[in-house]
Amino acid sequence: MLDRLKIAARFLKFYWRAKTKYRVHSPFVFQFVEAVLEDDRTFYVFREAEILRGELLNSNDSIEVEDFGAGSHVSGLKKVRKVREIAASALSPAFQCAWLFRLVQFSKPLSIIELGTSLGVSTLYLTEGSPRQAQVLTLEGSKTIADLARRNFDWYYDTFLKIGLKRNNPDILDFSSYEKNIKTDFEKNKIQILVGTFDQTLQKALNQVKKLDFAFIDGNHRREPTLAYFNQCLAYAHEGTVLVFDDIHWSEDMESAWATIQSHPSVRLTIDLFWCGIVFFRHENKEKEHFSLIKAEWKPFSWGFWA
Ligand SMILES: C[S@@+](CC[C@H](N)C(=O)[O-])C[C@H]1O[C@@H](n2cnc3c(N)ncnc32)[C@H](O)[C@@H]1O
């Protein structure tokens, strides 16, 4: 309860300082707001991935998972969890996944690393938003959860997309030749799951991509590991790299990690969307800049005298 009150207080603080597009003067940040926050278009993946989420939320299955504990420490313990509980508590909600999709569409990364696959819903959004030739490496500590994510990817690419294809093309009666050309195998092969703790897998993933374009850090939300992942990613980052840190206001520990990341000399621009923080290394930003941004309709009076 106390934690919820603290998060609510942090949100109010964020809300007070957050700017809408009407108050953003940087052309790059304005483009970002238009493309990521304000674009309300729905893409096919949104609907299909949300059907998958619905199935997971209604699932009666239970799986035995490795326990990462409150701070995601690997305790070696296993516990039985209902799939629907994991779906309800661990997955990024639909509107955040939509922002992730638009952010990868905006930044066009060819290499994506996700720390924290869980059931794979955010991975689908990241994959579908990225260019066709992109590779997506997603890291998960629990083998049983990773197995389920793999099953979800198969399901999505082998079933949903074909159903969608048929629904959207009622005139085509014979799909056998059409399906050979369908992009599903190609898209599915874009995703690779690396199983193990982030300490074991992040370096492998970075060695594999060699040059990191985009990372979504969505697991083990504690200060020291978060900073360690940031530093590891930094060694493979370049001017166009985008790093997204989830849950930056989740705890004082995470707020402190976020402040340290913002003050790093290589970081030129940061955007705080409350649920996540986005880091850019753009050399064009001669002066370091930090923005807290909110969709205009969430702060309707902001085009007046207010920020
Ligand atoms: C918040 S969930 C990821 C949610 C997913 N990105 C989404 O939005 O759909 C975090 C995941 O990271 C995994 N995880 C947490 N700490 C880890 C660690 N130290 N090493 C490997 N995996 C870890 C957990 O098992 C969990 O599945």
Give residues with Cβ within 8 angstroms of 299, minimum separation 6. 15, 18, 20, 306
The DSSP secondary-structure symbol of 19 reads: B
Q: Is the pLDDT of residue 73 over 50?
A: no
Residue 78 belongs to what H/E stretch?
A: strand 78-82
The DSSP code sequence of 18-66 is: -B-GGG---HHHHHHIIIIIS-----HHHHHHHHHHHHHHT---EEEEE
CATH code, 222: 3.40.50.150
Q: Tell me what pLDDT residue 188 has.
A: 63
The DSSP secondary-structure symbol of 160 reads: I
CB distance 138 to ligand 1 below 6 Å: no
CB distance 198 to ligand 1 below 6 Å: yes
Count CB-CB contacts under 10 A for residue 40.
8
* 76 in any annotated domain: no
CA 106, distance to chain mean position in Å, is 14
Instruction: Tell me the average pLDDT across 258-268.
Output: 97
Residue 162: pLDDT band with limits 50, 70, 90: low
**What is the number of structural domains in the chain?**
1
User: Of 43-47, 191-195, 293-297, which range is least confident?
Assistant: 43-47
For the record, the structure tokens of 37 come out as 């926050």
State pTM to two decimals. 0.91
Instruction: For residue 140, give its domain range.
Output: 2-61+91-303
* 194 in any annotated domain: yes
* 83 in any annotated domain: no
User: Of 154-163, 177-186, 217-226, which range is least confident?
Assistant: 177-186
Q: Tell me what pLDDT residue 72 has.
A: 46
Best probe residue, ligand 1, of 136, 156, 218 (max atoms within 8 Å of C-beta): 218
Q: Which atom of ligand 1 is nearest to the CA of 121?
A: 9
* 77 in any annotated domain: no
- How far does residue 113's CA lie from ligand 1's centre (Å)? 13
> CA 169, CA 214: separation in Å to the nearest integer?
34
